Amino acid sequence: MPLSSTILGIESSCDDTAAAILVNGKIQSNVTNTQDIHRKYGGVVPELASRAHQSNIIPVISEALAQSNTTLQHLDAIAVTQGPGLMGSLIVGVNVAKGLSMSLGIPLLGVNHLQAHVAALYLENSVQFPLLCLLVSGGHTQLIFLKNELDFTVIGETIDDAVGEAFDKAGKILGLGYPGGPQIAKIATTGDPKRFKFPDSQTGHLDFSFSGIKTSLLYFLRKESNENSAFIEENLDSICASYQQSLIDMLLKRFNSAIIQFKPNSIGIVGGVSANALLRNSVMELGQIFDAPVYIPKFEYCTDNAAMIAKAGELLLEKGKTMKLSDTPYSRNEYL
């Protein structure tokens, strides 16, 4: 257990403005404002995201403090997403965090958003290392081998789109709105996952590729709709179920190979797509096959949130790894 600490976590890397309070390792409040403005554009519009963060960030932080009966004076450190993400969005969170840290005279912790997704597992579990973690979000797909919380090796990753993007782009093609992932998962529940087949792609042993499957969906729908203009409408649930099944199979195939090769003591999934019920159930089954404990965050810690940022910040605080005022946000991934 860390030194006694009260940490404010701030997340603003994409389209969620979020703040959370972590006291001695336990979450006391976790507030997320998901920006609705992007829905009508079918994806996140960076400039609109930055503007919305500007108006949301102070109310969201105030709400997180109020819900946990905490005042700024109680805080021992501020943790903020430093990257990766949209630069204009990151700047909002980082500069608010810098201002608070300066005015309160407390440490600033620059958190890597992907490491924070993994840290979501430590909020509720005492993890048995080494851990093999599948990180599946809207911007990233990685297989990560962890010897401990801070010893992080990426052993496989996507060479093009992330799996969340493959869900979201399919959602757009099918006219389901943004983000497509939750919609596809919902509609898939009544469909037949074996009805249609979408091909896996050829990649290096543990790497992923999701741009091909999205294109194959597009061509498939065009061809079928030419023959029957009501094809999508008549088969939507089975299209969603089959496409979802293909994506999850692609993830599981590499996850399974990585478990055989790296022999971890436990496995986990994190990131927005880990909210997917089929993936959650499939990974539970994988854990049974390999007789390994399985860690999956509860839903509110799967998609972007500030609880995971505060938790990752706590690990940095324990190691004395603070962020300097001259440090800047980074848009592309830079593991620390």
Residues found near Zn ion in the complex (CB under 5 A): 137, 304
Q: How many CB atoms lie within 10 A of CB 121?
A: 24
Binding mask 108-127 for ligand KG4 (x = CB under 6 A): --------------------
Residue nearer to ligand KG4 on the CB measure, 75 or 310: 310
Strand order, beta sheet including 77-83 = 26-34, 16-23, 6-11, 77-83, 108-112
Q: Which does 167 bind (CB under 5 to 8 A by kind): Zn ion, ligand KG4, none?
A: ligand KG4
Q: Which entry of ligand KG4, Zn ion, none binds 9, CB below 5 to 8 A by partner kind?
A: none
Q: Residues 153-182 vs ligand KG4: string with x where CB under 6 A? A: -----------x--xx----------xxxx
Query: Nearest distance from residue 13's CB to Zn ion, in Å?
Result: 7
To ligand KG4, the closest distance from the beta carbon of 167 in angstroms equals 5
C-alpha to C-alpha distance for 71 and 140, rounded to whole angstroms? 35
Closer to ligand KG4 by CB, 65 or 165: give it.
Answer: 165
Is 276 an interacting residue with respect to ligand KG4 (CB under 6 A)? yes
Among 157, 207, 304, 314, binds ligand KG4 (CB under 6 A): 304
210 binds, among Zn ion, ligand KG4, none (CB under 5 to 8 A by kind): none
Question: Which of 88/271 has CB closer to ligand KG4?
Answer: 271
Please check whether residue 179 is in contact with residue 213, taking contact to mean a CB–CB distance below 8 angstroms.
Answer: no
3-state secondary structure the chain: CCCCCEEEEEECCCCEEEEEEEECCEEEEEEEEECHHHHHHCCCCHHHHHHHHHHHHHHHHHHHHHHCCCCHHHCCEEEEEEECCCHHHHHHHHHHHHHHHHHHCCCEEEEEHHHHHHHHHHHCCCCCCCEEEEEECCCCEEEEEEEECCEEEEEEEECCCCHHHHHHHHHHHCCCCCCHHHHHHHHHCCCCCCCCCCCCCCCCCCCECCHHHHHHHHHHHHHHHHHCCCHHHHHHHHHHHHHHHHHHHHHHHHHHHHHHHHCCCEEEEECHHHHCHHHHHHHHHHHHHHCCCEECCCHHHCCCCCHHHHHHHHHHHHCCCCCCCCCCCCCCCCCC
What part of residues 82-111 is at the interface with ligand KG4 (CB under 6 A)?
A: none
With respect to Zn ion, which residue has the nearer C-beta, 68 or 112? 112
Residue number with the smallest Cβ distance to ligand KG4: 272
Choices 19-27, 99-107, 206-214, 273-281 (CB under 6 A): range interacting with ligand KG4: 273-281
Q: Select from 137, 142, 209, 246 the one that contacts ligand KG4 (CB under 6 A).
A: 137
- Count residues binding ligand KG4 (CB under 6 A): 19
Inter-residue contact 210 to 162 (CB < 8 Å): yes
- Residue number, 186 or 205, with CB nearest to ligand KG4: 186
String marking each residue 212-231 x if it binds ligand KG4 according to CB under 6 A: --------------------
- Binder among 18, 275, 292, 315 for ligand KG4 (CB under 6 A): 275
Q: Which of 20, 90, 170, 185 binds ligand KG4 (CB under 6 A)?
A: 185
Which residues would be at the binding site for ligand KG4 (CB under 6 A)?
14, 137-139, 164, 167-168, 179-182, 185, 271-273, 275-276, 303-304
